[in-house]
Each structure stands twice: as C-alpha cells, then as structure tokens.
Structure 1
C-alpha cells in the first residue's frame, strides 16, 4: 500500500511539473525569443494539449521509477503476510 501511495504522489508531482515546464517553455518562446502569438492559439495549445501530454508522460515515468525503486529496496513488497 505504501508503494502505491508513493507512486500516486510521484505521478501527481510529475504531471504538475510537466505541465509547468511546458508552460515555462511557452513563456520562454514568447517572452525571450520574440515569437509572436497574435491570436492566442499557441497558448491554448500549450495549456490544453502539449502541457497535459508532457505532464502525463513525466508523471508516468516518475511513478514507474518510484515504484521500481521502492520494490527493489523491499524484496517482499508485493506479498501479503
């Protein structure tokens, strides 16, 4: 149960971080690199499509990593007493 809780927490943190990183990339593109987004389509794409996909990917990777890491440290993690 502990492994599941840690994996869920890792997924939520990874998903949030992935979305924030995607929006940070959009901010860097528009603010620092001078890319113009006149109609707001780029912001909507990053906020509603690219950000959640990046969050889903990063959250899945971090949850799998956390689960594998915890399962290796405790050899009988999946067994019931």
Structure 2
C-alpha cells in the first residue's frame, strides 16, 4: 500500500475530501493530526493568521495482493 497525506484550510474542501475518500473501499483513514515533518506552506501560514482551521487527513492504501504484487507478476 501507500500513504496519502492531505491538508486544507477550506472546510467545504475538507468535507469533500473526507466524503470521497471514506467511500473508497481500497483506502483506510480519515482526519488525522498534523504530520510533524510536513512543511508549513505560505497558504497554511495565511490561514492560521486568519484563524482558519487547517484540517489534516491521512489515508492508507489497503494492499490486497493484486496490483503490484511480485507473486502476480508473471
């Protein structure tokens, strides 16, 4: 699997992210804490100055053994 990390300060976008990705059976995750190594962008800095909530998400791709599997590569 892989990991998808997202962040936004726009609440309608955060709702769309959550609804869309929660509905994907190949992904697990949701709202998360801010990843410590994620750099703060100028957009995030501006959002924080404006007291906008920055919402982080973390989703993990579920490895079902089909795509990219060495056993299936023949």
What TM-score do the two structures reach when normalised by structure 2?
0.30
Compare the two structures and name the one with the higher helix fraction.
1
Compare the two structures and name the one with the higher strand fraction.
2
Higher Rg: 1
